Amino acid sequence: MSQFFQIHPDNPQARLISQAVQIIRDGGIVALPTDSCYALVCHLDDKDAVARLRRIRNVDDKHHLTLLCRDLSEISLYAKVDNQQYRLLKAATPGAYTFILEATKEVPRRLSHPSRKTIGLRVPENRIVHALLEELAQPLLGTTLILPGEDEPLTDPEEVRDRLNKVVDLVIDGGACSFEPTTVIDLTSGEPVLQRQGRGDVALFGL
């Protein structure tokens, strides 16, 4: 049975945030709201949890998982960022964007794309996520909560609990989310390349 926490979206309760982080540290999978739609997250360094995350989504190692980071300085630990890329990231974070960048050696090899050595990263604009990241003191590994065989993400916490009650360890109810996932921008080639149109406005990138 999944645990179910109702966490205030504007003033997250510190006690519940600490309990949620402990579940993540213990290898748990957590469903939580973001500034786009609901996501599944786990500990970056927990190999078994990452494997569970991929099984729930039914995706292989060629599917980019995303590092949810606190800020740009944390992104720069896990991705190679030049001056031009930094300016684009600064203009668009925090926000509903996922960026594909070249991974640094800080990223476990099993998490980066096996042929391209790239990684997806984002800085969400969501207070619950930020409270978790501050308590954890490192990025979370995440993926949009779209179940196998479906096209639309789950956005209602009660539905998430009903459908994933025996699959994840914790569902965080922080209110309903958008139906739109993040906009995915590939920055590895020097110029921004749109990979997926989502909630984030692409005009920031001249697209």
Average the pLDDT over 58-77 and give the result.
Answer: 88
Is pLDDT of 115 > 80? no
Would the pLDDT of 151 be above 90?
no
Check whether the bond before 153 is cis (ω within 30° of 0). Answer: no
- Residues 136-140: what's their mean pLDDT? 95
- DSSP code at position 117: -
With CA atoms as reference, report the closest residue to 155 among 48, 72, 36.
Answer: 36
* 145, 102 contact by CB (below 8 A): no
- What does the pLDDT look like over 31-65, one tens digit per residue? 999 998 899 999 999 999 999 999 999 988 778 78
Output the pLDDT for position 112: 65
Q: How far apart are CA 7 and CA 15, in angstroms?
A: 10
Mean pLDDT of the chain: 91
Residue 17: name the closest of 94, 95, 126 by CA: 126
- What is the rounded distance in angstroms from the CA atom of residue 46 to the CA atom of residue 26? 9
CA-CA distances (angstroms) from residue 51 to 41, 46, 48, 95? 12, 9, 5, 27
* Alpha-carbon dihedral sign for residues 21, 22, 26, 32: negative
Average the pLDDT over 64-85 and give the result.
91
* pLDDT category of residue 152 using cuts at 50, 70 and 90: confident
